[in-house]
Structure 1
Amino acid sequence: MARFPEGFLWGASTAAHQVEGNNTNSDFWLMENLEGSVFKEPSGSAVDHYNRFKSDITEMARLGLNSYRFSIEWARIEPEEGQFEASEIEHYREVLLACKENKITPIVTLHHFSSPQWLIRLGGWESADTPARFARYCAHVMRELGELIPYVCTINEANISIGIKKIMKRYALKSGSPGAQVGMNMENMAEKMQKYFMGLSKAFGVPPTEVHSFLAPRSEEGLAVIFQAHVEARAAIRQISPQTKVGVTLSLYDIQSVPGGEENARDAWQEEFVQFVPYLNEDDFFGLQNYTRAVYGPDGLLPVPDDAETTQMGNEFYPEALGAVVRYVSTHLKMPIMITENGIATDDDTRRIAFINQALKGVQDCITDGFQVLGYMHWSLMDNFEWQLGFSKTFGLIEVDRNTQERTTKPSGIHLGEIAKENAI
């Protein structure tokens, strides 16, 4: 593999709720512990990264990785509206200092799907007041920690509700199409949902139709709320911590077409990416998250071919997607790209290694052709809590025995680290 540019960021990503454990003030904690929950299991102590972050970060450095994308949990920082917890700020200061001590560049995400319970009670991600509330939280974090944060992603996968809506529609049609790029439990969904939403309504104290968590079905107005939250957060961050580079991440498929499907593919790109470009033009970088492709025909999205290799998530094994999406995004955004998530859920680590190699070959070709890519963050650092699917999906470079919380680095983690070290010489 050809060399990558000097200063290229090599790392892995996590999300607070998926790895820290005991995120008791978040909406997801409440939802996953309800009777009749659509979550296959609760997160519980997850992989105890909240207490084990120092050794986890040290292991990243030992492998040769030089960056770490992780999220700060809003529900910990502001468990009640306007009540900011100094002890939790200090916790994340320790995480950032552990990165500094290990010469790891932190890339901080300020919202990765989970939200404070109080926000949902006040209208959640459909409320016109949420952007200001989110910007206030971001301002507090950056006022306290900004000097330690060189890169910040305001919101993870701000467009994810579009993909969720599509996967729910595809499931209803039983089309065998690609899975969503987030863990959705679609088993017996229709019969579960009525009881589940009644439980949510009681727990949050709002009507069932007004439980607007980040991953809930989204109106057009709600989608605008999310992107406005990014805009207001970006302004607040720049005022307080002007040296910090600000971006947002989007979930993007490599959208392709067969003859007759070109218009459908163009419409999909417009819906999932192009319509949001005006919100992003003033960002410092773009966070690109890709796992597979989506192919459109004359009648819409085509199913994954029967003979295709698939991952635990039902996605087609297609690492070539990453380079293609870098190229497409670069035709619309004139800014550096950070690959903030890319990976596969599989029990066969040899396939993870093959995926990494092929994905990075595509990235290297993009760089050779003049596209600016800042770094590659593999998803994920560790096997973790895949939302509604629980702990059944293994994305990690590091295996975790949840009975003992013992870590075992997989060959793929060693392999990615070796690539990073070769490029550091």
Structure 2
Amino acid sequence: MKTKKDEKDFIRRTAFKVVMAAIASLALLLAWGMRKPATVAVIPAASLPSDFIWGVSSSAFQSEGGEVNSNWELHKKPPVDREPYGTSVDFRHRYREDVTLAKQLGVNTYRIGINWARVEPKKGKIDAAELAYYDDLILALKQAGITPLITLDHFIYPSWVSAQGAWTNPQTTTDFVKYSRLIAERYREDVHLWITFNETAFYMFFEIDSRQMGFKDFMSMRKNLISAHRQTYDVIHQVDKQAVVTSNIVWVGDHFGSALLRQFTNWMFFNGVKDKCDVIAIDYYTADLITAARTGHHWKWPPQPAGLYRALKMLKSEFPDKPILIAEVGMATENGQAREDGAKREDVLRDGVYWTQRAKADGVNVIGYMVWSLTDNYEWGSYTPRFGLYTVNVRTDASLTRIPTAAVPAYQEVIRNAGVGADYQPVLPQ
């Protein structure tokens, strides 16, 4: 039987969601009315420096597989439109194979995640076997000559954190900072690149929906996540004074409608931590995320590599004194099939590198280009979107064989030559 308090809470939650939807709708309407961005002259691209970060990116949950008692298992609202998680690509047991593939690509950096739900499955109880797994993963990277970049929270936390109210409870901030100190101290000799929270604003949108939050809970979550990043930043720098710590943001676009959404998402989290970010880390998938998201499918998002140039230039104007790291860049296909728009993974990759080189030559202090992802993985409920340089047919191939796409030799050549050649002409239109 519903009480008056239940009814009031329902009204508050509904009103909050209406406001959030109105902001998104206004941004979309403004996006529709904008002109196409001005084209940029195609000129020879200078090579990138020898210390440039060439990498691949991944997340723990999406690639590891196996039973993990986390928030992802707990917050399944009917009707559940998700594929079973299962083994994913079994990175948990095949990480040495994948590290070898990364070495063969020639990358010098591999973004990995450490899953808090694995490390601390019960509050205060650290799982030594799972830490040993991460120990050996980092050792494998070290032996391969590859620098690890660690993400501490990639949308996943232990079920006991969920039980205590997740990020609406300030205790979760305390617990997260304690966990982060454990990881930072354990890997202080081998890890100097850190991301605290992945795409935090969109993480918050997911939490609002999955936990049925109202405005008060949202504001508590916002405060606690900002505090967690700020404290973790300080902890990591206490442990390693040379550490580079940040939290990556999603590029949503450069027209006025996207700028409105970007200002809102920055307010949600990034504005509260930007003074404690050593680099600006961005995830770039399309020039206009608002319009792209309307398609409903990752594989229909137009990749638009030239938009990366505009994004980098805009970020330089906003943060002139900070280096910029492309923490994720990639393109999806539907089950590995040819895309309707004809875009090919290898062309999108080369074009993205070209526009990165152009931005660097034009004075943007861009320090790295990290492809999402080395292999296909579990794209938050589905194995249909394929982002991998290596295809893995999770549904049909019990051996989970890593099958190279045409982007593998393309990336090898790009890395070997410190970029595309001076005579390179972008394939995709601006």
Q: What residue in structure 1 maps to residue 47 of structure 2?
A: 3
CA distance in 2, matches of 1:159, 1:312: 19
Residue 366 of structure 1: how far off its partner (Å): 1.2
Counterparts of 1:245-284 in structure 2, within 5 Å, are: 245-257=244-256, 264-273=257-266, 276-284=270-278
Counterparts of 1:9-28 in structure 2, within 5 Å, are: 9-28=53-72
Q: What residue in structure 2 maps to residue 344 of structure 1?
A: 331
Q: What residue in structure 2 maps to residue 238 of structure 1?
A: 237
Summarize the Cα distance change of 1:23–1:245 in structure 2 as closer, same or farther, 3 Å threshold. Answer: farther
CA distance in 2, matches of 1:398, 1:288: 23
TM-score norm. by structure 2 comes to: 0.78
Q: What residue in structure 2 maps to residue 175 of structure 1?
A: none
Question: Structure 1 residue 138 and structure 2 residue 180: aligned?
Answer: yes
Larger radius of gyration, structure 1 or 2? 2
What per-residue deviation string (whole Å, max 9, x for no partner) do you get for residues 187-241 of structure 1? xxxxxx9xxx7xxxxxxxxxx646x9xxxx9723322322221111111111223
CA distance in 2, matches of 1:12, 1:23: 25
Asked if structure 1 preserves the Cα contact closer than 8 Å seen for 2:292 and 2:302, the reply is: no
CA distance in 1, matches of 2:74, 2:105: 36
Asked if structure 1 preserves the Cα contact closer than 8 Å seen for 2:373 and 2:387, the reply is: yes
Residue 367 of structure 1: how far off its partner (Å): 0.7
Q: What residue in structure 2 maps to residue 407 of structure 1?
A: 402
CA distance in 2, matches of 1:225, 1:25: 23
Residue 377 of structure 1: how far off its partner (Å): 0.8
When structure 1 is superposed on structure 2, of 100-109 and 18-27 the one drifting more is: 18-27
Residue 409 of structure 1: how far off its partner (Å): 1.4
Question: Counterpart of 2:417 in 1: which secondary structure?
Answer: helix
Between Structure 1 and Structure 2, how many residues are aligned?
365
Residue segments in structure 2 that go unaligned for 5+ positions in a row: 1-44, 420-430
Counterparts of 1:5-404 in structure 2, within 5 Å, are: 5-31=49-75, 36=78, 38-161=80-203, 209=212, 219-257=218-256, 264-273=257-266, 276-294=270-288, 312-333=298-319, 334-346=321-333, 347=336, 348=338, 351-388=344-381, 390-402=382-394, 403-404=398-399
Residue 148 of structure 1: how far off its partner (Å): 1.1
Summarize the Cα distance change of 1:250–1:294 in structure 2 as closer, same or farther, 3 Å threshold. Answer: same
CA distance in 2, matches of 1:337, 1:55: 30
Question: Counterpart of 1:146 in 2: which secondary structure?
Answer: coil
Sequence identity of aligned pairs in percent?
27
Summarize the Cα distance change of 1:62–1:218 in structure 2 as closer, same or farther, 3 Å threshold. Answer: farther
Residue 136 of structure 1: how far off its partner (Å): 0.7
CA distance in 1, matches of 2:242, 2:298: 40
CA distance in 1, matches of 2:280, 2:409: 27
Question: Structure 1 residue 422 and structure 2 residue 428: aligned?
Answer: no
CA distance in 2, matches of 1:311, 1:6: 37
CA distance in 1, matches of 2:203, 2:74: 20
The aligned amino acid for 2:47 is R
Asked if structure 2 preserves the Cα contact closer than 8 Å seen for 1:27 and 1:114, the reply is: yes
Summarize the Cα distance change of 1:274–1:135 in structure 2 as closer, same or farther, 3 Å threshold. Answer: same
Residue 2 of structure 1: how far off its partner (Å): 3.1
Summarize the Cα distance change of 1:6–1:236 in structure 2 as closer, same or farther, 3 Å threshold. Answer: same
The aligned amino acid for 1:344 is M
Residue segments in structure 1 that go unaligned for 5+ positions in a row: 169-192, 198-207, 258-263, 296-300
Residue 255 of structure 1: how far off its partner (Å): 2.8
Asked if structure 2 preserves the Cα contact closer than 8 Å seen for 1:277 and 1:332, the reply is: no
What per-residue deviation string (whole Å, max 9, x for no partner) do you get for residues 292-328 of structure 1? 1238xxxxx667899xxx9744422322222222222
Residue 358 of structure 1: how far off its partner (Å): 1.9
The alignment yields a C-alpha RMSD, in angstroms, of: 2.9
CA distance in 1, matches of 2:115, 2:171: 20
Asked if structure 1 preserves the Cα contact closer than 8 Å seen for 2:252 and 2:261, the reply is: no
Residue 265 of structure 1: how far off its partner (Å): 4.5
Summarize the Cα distance change of 1:55–1:329 in structure 2 as closer, same or farther, 3 Å threshold. Answer: same
Q: What residue in structure 1 maps to residue 13 of structure 2?
A: none
CA distance in 2, matches of 1:136, 1:3: 42
TM-score norm. by structure 1 comes to: 0.79
CA distance in 1, matches of 2:263, 2:53: 30
Residue 129 of structure 1: how far off its partner (Å): 2.2
Q: What residue in structure 2 maps to residue 186 of structure 1?
A: none
4+ residue runs of structure 1 moved beyond 4 angstroms?
A: 161-165, 301-306
When structure 1 is superposed on structure 2, of 111-120 and 415-424 the one drifting more is: 415-424
CA distance in 1, matches of 2:174, 2:353: 38
The aligned amino acid for 1:392 is T
The aligned amino acid for 1:45 is T
CA distance in 2, matches of 1:273, 1:292: 18
The aligned amino acid for 1:247 is T
Asked if structure 2 preserves the Cα contact closer than 8 Å seen for 1:253 and 1:325, the reply is: no
What per-residue deviation string (whole Å, max 9, x for no partner) do you get for residues 127-151 of structure 1? 2222221111100111111211020
Asked if structure 2 preserves the Cα contact closer than 8 Å seen for 1:254 and 1:322, the reply is: no
Residue 31 of structure 1: how far off its partner (Å): 4.1
